[in-house]
Each structure stands twice: as structure tokens, then as C-alpha cells.
A and B are shown apart, each in its own frame.
Chain A
Amino acid sequence: MPEFSIQSSVDIARRLEIRGSDSRSWVVLLLPSGSSDTALRNLLGDLSSLLQRPTRVFDLRSSSFEKLSEILHEPEDDIVVLVAKTNLDTERWSALDLMRSGLERKGPIILWLSPDCVPNLSEQAPNIRSFVGGSIFYVGPDGGLMSEADRQKRLAELVQFYGLSNKEVVNRAQAKTLPSEPHFVEWLVLLGRGDLV
């Protein structure tokens, strides 16, 4: 299987925003193993708030494709996510490919798939695969998630500004003598001591 780049849901939202509101975009997002429903909820939240459009989700394993082709146009400009957490059989991929004209719409369609769907998508649904083109990515960590370097930089800023060590801050929080200003709450969260805030 070819290597695909990793994109966060924020990256995907940004990509769709740049393409415009009626871009007819098709995007495939491949789930990392063990991915939970939280990742899908986060994707929906990011897309909905960043693109200011509602989202709908349909399961490709259980949805009737005839019905799907109708409801994708009612409305046809919201964000639709078609989910297959496990691979579909070859007949179902072929049937989806035959319905491709009925699935075309103004708003974006995101295929939220397990990685083992890719060979069948390419072989049994070549027309849909061509709609997707190069827009096939692994779902990465949340966009904007603070890096370890950033966390350390922020902690160093606090240590320098207040003249306290991280250990002293934890000790004071445990002794309930830590000031209640916002910086000290941030400090504890950055130290992974949310239990002390």
C-alpha cells in the first residue's frame, strides 16, 4: 500500500475551506488502529465549527446506497462523513461505485475508513477512487496539540518569571498555599498535575 501523509482534522478542515464551499470534494481519512469514536467526534466538531456547516454521518456497512444517494442531496451542501470501520466486501464496493453519479454533490464527502479498505476502494470502486485523487490521508493527532518542546518552553517561562521550581509549585499546591492566579493553574496542567488544580 502506498504511503499516505498524516493530517489532523484541523488540517482537513483548512484544506476544505481553501477549496471553497461548493468544491465537491472527496477526501479519504484512514483510521489509525485502535482509533476510538472520540476521533470521529473530534473531526465532526472541528469541521462543523471551522467550516460553519452542519455534519451528517452514515455507516457504509448498513446504509442503503439508493437511500444514501437521495439523502445526500437533502441538503447537498453540508458535510457528510461515510464510515467503514472495517472493510466492506467487494460487491458492496462495486455497488457503491455504480452509484457514484447519485453521490455527487456540492458539499464535501469524507470517507472515514479502516486502512484495509484501500485495496478494495482502488480495485472495486475505481471511479470513486478517482474522485478522491490525492486526498487520502491518515488521521493524525489533534491539530494544535501542544508539543513537548512547547510545554517545556512554557514551564521554563513560568520558572524564570516567578523564581519557583516546578517541584516547589507542586509542593505548594499539595500544601494548598499556591496562589490562585491563572498562571499557577496553567503551571499545574503543564506539569500533568491536573489533580492539584
Chain B
Amino acid sequence: MVSAPREGRPSVTLEDAKKRAHSLDMEIHARIGGFSLESPHKVVSAVRAYLIRRAGEISVENNPWKFLKFSGSSEGAWLITMGPTIDRGDTEEHFHFDTGARLSFGLTLQEEGSKSRLLSFRYQYNLPDGKSPRFLRFDLNRSAHADPLQEPLCHLHPGLEEARLPFFIHSPLEILDRIFFVIDKNL
């Protein structure tokens, strides 16, 4: 017979893992729900300025002036994109790094007066050929999944489409900070 876990000792069943994942998901959901951004237009401006500054620091040619795009409002919902929606290989619309890596992303926001709120994002960073993992993708889903252990609300795909690890950073510029100044710098 398996005894009940003693206080202080972590539970080890799959059900316990799901409970912990659910608890973490709720925490992230609350954090993101309380997280406010500038107006969608200001977010577009800030992301564009960020990418232009980074493009000026690397030698590979990039054109965020042209390839950072936004959809305009649909019932207050905005889409900001860089690169293709589906990554099927390198395109001129990607943001390219000196390392040979490339980045594409899509970010949706809900306008709320003079501010906005995150709805979802996906940042796909493809490592150069021959590097492992093949890609990293940072996703924020619109709503919680029934199984937050397998699919946390905000997660990182570490090169595996079906593997999702919880991820805490949700500010658009902070995610770019990690990609530009941490991941790409360590290739």
C-alpha cells in the first residue's frame, strides 16, 4: 500500500504534477491579466524602434522599417508581425542575426482606452543550420488549456513542437531582450 505523502515531501503522481501545473498556470494568468501595455500604436513604435536599434548593431542587413507590420484594429484587437506567419524556411521578411539565426513573431493586443492588454504571442527563433535545438518558440496562448502540464498558458518550445515548458516573461521587449542579449549572444 502506498502511504499518503508526509508534509514537506513532494507528491510524485501525475495527478499531483497536473495540480502543480494548474496552480502555476493560474498564477501566470493572473499576472498577465494585470499586465498593461501602452496603446497598440505605441507598442508598434517601441518594437520597431527596438528592432531598428538592434539592426544597426549587427552586420547582416535587416529592414524592420519595412517588415514590421500591424493589422490595425479589429474590434480593438491588433496584430503586430515580423516575418511570415508560418516559418517554412528563411525569407527576407525575417529578422536575421549575425550568427545565422532568424526571428519571426506575431503579437496580438486588445486596445483598452489609451492602453492595451496582451492577448497572445509567438516568437520563433530559428537557430542556424547544424545547431541544436533547431528552434526556440515562446508562445502565449489566448486561454488556459485543460491540461496545463502539457500546455502551459505561457510556454517555451525547446525545439520540440509537442514539448512546452512554462515561461514567465511576457513583456514584448523583455522577450526580445532575452533573444538578442542572452540566447543569440551564447550561440
Spell out A's residues near B (CB within 8 Å): 10, 14, 41-42, 45-46, 48-50, 52, 142-146, 150-151, 154, 157-158, 160-161, 180-186, 188-195, 197
Contact = CB atoms under 8 A, between A and B. Distances in A.
Interface of B: 39, 41-42, 44-46, 48-49, 52, 65, 68-79, 81, 84-86, 106, 108, 110, 119-122, 139-145
A73 B23 CA distance: 56
Given A45-B41, A182-B106, A158 B85 contact: yes
B76 A182 contact: no
7 contacts: A146-B71, A146-B79, A181-B120, A183-B122, A186-B81, A186-B108, A192-B74
Q: Is the interface of B mostly helix, strand, loop or mixed?
A: mixed
A145 B48 contact: no
Contact of A181 (B44, B68, B139, B144): B139
Nearest to A47: B45
Given A182-B108, A182-B121, A183-B122, A197 B49 contact: no
A190 B159 CA distance: 27
Given A10-B48, A182-B120, A186-B106, A157 B143 contact: no
A142 B70 CA distance: 9
B68 A180 contact: no
A144 B77 contact: no
Nearest to A151: B71
A186 B41 contact: no
A185 B142 contact: yes
Contact of B72 (A146, A182, A185): A146
Nearest to B114: A41
Nearest to B73: A194
Given A42-B41, A50-B52, A182-B122, A189 B79 contact: yes
Contacts of A191: 74
A41 B44 CA distance: 13
Contacts of A144: 44, 48, 68-70
A61 B141 CA distance: 50
Choose among A14, A46, A52, A186 the residue with the greatest number of B CB atoms under 10 Å from its CB. A186
